[in-house]
Amino acid sequence: MKIGLFGINMGACANPQSAIRVAKAAEQAGFESLWTGEHVVLPDPRQPPSPLPPEYPMLDPLIALGFVAGNTSQIGLGTGIIILPQRNPLVLAKQLASVDVVSQGRLIFGVGIGYLKPEFDALGVPFEFKGPRTEEYLAAVTAMWTMERPEYHGRFVSFGGVNAMPRPVRKPHPQIVFGGHTRQAFDRAARLAGGWYGFSLDLNAATKCIARLRAACETAGRRFEDVEITVTPSVGNARALGQGAAQVTLDDARRFADLGITRLVVAPWAKLDEAGLLKIVEETARDVIGRV
């Protein structure tokens, strides 16, 4: 079982010195990866289903990962997730490749389609057809990464006669992980990605999601075992720290592992300060890492 840590670009870690200290502590403790979240803007005032208040600090994930890359040496660096239809795919391909290069191949590209319409509206991005747009943008990104002469022609993006260097270090490209809990998300993970990421799931919800992902793999003609499953657990109200996530115990981790999950990304409470984050890193290392 791989253990990751969510939120290296937000909350207390929006302070760069805190992010460095938390990242270094996690790497030294044996965490496998660090993960960012993304919302370019948040509704103000907050309104459902917005996950956070508008004043909550959140750095751009790629800038944060590039900064953390320069202060670590081995730990994986994941976007959990990039809201792909809000991004220019060629600019994003360059940014992601840059993070992979400066980190010497440690990038994990987690992607999703987004769900906050006010965010799309503010950015001038159509909320409609965000699923098909995401698939085309992903194809455009991978074309820029892998084709000798990159070219893609689709409904939402079309280009040719251009190139961009350097390419990502990891070959053929960084791992792609699709996030989301809908039928379409499972379908995209089965068809287009190396993994699937489920956020804030208890054991019951994770069990149902994995069954649906398995069915999507069967429909796509894909071996279920070839899709790496990442979950940020929500382990119950008794120990919940807030925001739908909680510290993970060894028993929790073993139960998730029994479902076939190979990476747990711990998401501490959004309001924890640096000391609280470092305490969770220490406790997770002591109680869970290396024992699952």
How far is C-alpha 118 from the geometric centre of its chain's CA atoms? 22
Low-confidence ranges of the chain (pLDDT < 50): 236-246
CB of 30 closer than 8 Å to CB of 2: no
CB of 168 closer than 8 Å to CB of 174: yes
pLDDT at 235: 56
Between CA 225 and CA 223 the distance in angstroms is: 5
Q: Which CATH class name applies to 2-287?
A: alpha beta
> Mind listing the pLDDT tens digit for each residue in 9-64?
999 999 999 999 999 999 999 999 999 999 999 999 999 999 999 999 999 999 99
CB of 228 closer than 8 Å to CB of 263: yes
Q: Taking the domains of the chain in order of start, what are their residue ranges? A: 2-287
From the CA atom positions of the chain, what is the Rg in Å?
A: 18
> Mind listing the pLDDT tens digit for each residue in 105-114?
999 999 999 9
pLDDT at 139: 98
Between CA 262 and CA 250 the distance in angstroms is: 14
pLDDT at 79: 98
Residue 163 phi/psi, 5° resolution?
-155, 165
